[in-house]
Amino acid sequence: MTHANPMTMSYANILFAVDAGIARLTLNRPDRLNSFNDAMHAEVREALERVQADASVRVLLLTGAGRGFCAGQDLSDRNVAPGAEPVDLGASIERNYKPLVLGLRALPLPVVCAVNGVAAGAGANLALACDLVLAAKSASFIQAFCRIGLVPDSGGTYFLPRLVGNARAMGLALLGDKLTAEQAAQWGLIWQCVDDAELPAATDKLLATLAQAPTRGLAAIKRALHASAGNSLPAQLDLERDLQRALGAGDDYREGVAAFVEKRPPRFKGR
Ligand code: T3D
C-alpha cells in the first residue's frame, strides 16, 4: 500500500520513513553491527519525537541494516584502555539508553521489532523493550554485558526475569551465551521466529494489520499490560475500568460494534 505523501527523513546513522501509517526506523551502521554511538542515539531520539508528534503514525517498526540488528554500545567509541580516565557509564545510560527504553514503552502505539540478525548487549534489550518482536531464524540474542564486566542495562534485568523466569534470566545474564531466535521464541522471550527469507513479508503483514487497527485501543492494551507488573489486582482492575471507560466513548469502539452488527470489516481511524 502506498501513501499519498510518503515521508523519508535523511540521517547519517539511521534510516527513517513514514508511509501509510507505518513509521520504519532502521539502525544503519552495519559495519559496526549497528552499535550505538551518541550520534545514532540523538537521531533515534529525534525520529521517536517525530513518531510521537505525527498523528498519522499508527505503528512503529524498529529493525537493523545489514547482517546484525544491534550490538549495543559502540565499544570503539571511547577510550577505556588500561590507565585511561574512567568513563561515566551511568551518564551514558541516563542520557541515552534510559530515555530510549522509556520512550518506546510510552509511545501510544504498537512498536514492532524485526530482529534481522544478532542482538547483543543493549541491542538485545532494546528489542525486548518493543511490544512485538519478530526474529529471523539466524538471529540471536546475547546478554554480552557479563563478558566485559557490566550488568545488563536498557531494562535487561527488568525484562528477562519477567519474560523467561529467574532461572533462565540468570543463565542468560551470568553466562552471556548466544540464545538462538528459535529458542527465544520457545522460551517466550519474543513473539515469533520465522525463516530468514520470510522476515520481510511477515513484518510487512504485521505492520499492515496494526496500521489498520484501533490504535487508541492498542495503546491502552499496551499501557495496561505494562502496568500490570507493578500493580495489585484491584489496582489493575481499576486501570482496566478507566481505560475501558475512555475507549467506550471513542469512535473506534462504535465502528467496531457497528461493523460486527453489519457483518462487514471495520474501518478504524485509530481514535
Ligand atoms: O555507554 C555505555 O557503554 C553503557 C552502555 C552499555 C550498553 C552495552 O551495550 S554494553 C555491551 C556492548 N556490546 C557488546 O559487548 C557486544 C560486542 N560485540 C560482540 O560481542 C560481537 O560482535 C557479536 C557477538 C555481537 C557478533 O559477533 P560476530 O562474530 O558475528 O561479528 P564481529 O566480527 O565480532 O563484528 C563485526 C564487526 O562489528 C567487527 O568490526 P570489524 O572487525 O569488521 O572492523 C566488530 O568489531 C564490530 N562490532 C561488533 N560489535 C561492536 C562492534 N564495534 C563496536 N562496538 C560493538 N559493540
* Residues ≥6 apart with Cβ < 8 Å to 62: 25, 27, 104, 111, 112, 113, 114, 126, 127, 130
Ligand 1: centre distance to CA 144 (Å): 9
Atom of ligand 1 nearest to the CA of 178: 24
User: Which band of pLDDT confidence, cut at 50, 70 and 90, is reported for residue 82?
Assistant: confident
Give the pLDDT score at 7. 79
- The answer on pLDDT for 2 being more than 50 is no
77 CB neighbour count, 10 Å cutoff: 16
Q: Report the percentage of the chain scoring pLDDT > 90.
A: 93
Give the pLDDT score at 5. 57
* Residues ≥6 apart with Cβ < 8 Å to 129: 100, 101, 104, 105, 111, 154, 155, 159
Ligand 1: centre distance to CA 116 (Å): 16
Ligand 1: centre distance to CA 232 (Å): 40
Atom of ligand 1 nearest to the CA of 72: 9
**How does DSSP classify residue 89?**
H
Ligand 1: centre distance to CA 128 (Å): 18
- The answer on pLDDT for 1 being more than 60 is no
Report the candidate in 126, 94, 97 with the shortest Cα–Cα distance to residue 111: 126
Taking only the tens place, the pLDDT of each residue in 172-211 is 999 999 999 999 999 999 999 999 999 999 999 999 999 9
Q: Which residues line ligand 1 (CB under 6 A)?
A: 32-33, 35, 71-76, 89, 92-93, 97, 118, 120-122, 142, 144-145, 148, 150, 153
Ligand 1: centre distance to CA 35 (Å): 7
Taking only the tens place, the pLDDT of each residue in 208-252 is 999 999 999 999 999 999 999 999 999 999 999 999 999 999 999
The residue nearest atom 24 of ligand 1, judged by CA position, is 120
| Cβ atoms of 37 and 11 closer than 8 Å | no
Average pLDDT over residues 150-155: 98
The residue nearest atom 4 of ligand 1, judged by CA position, is 89
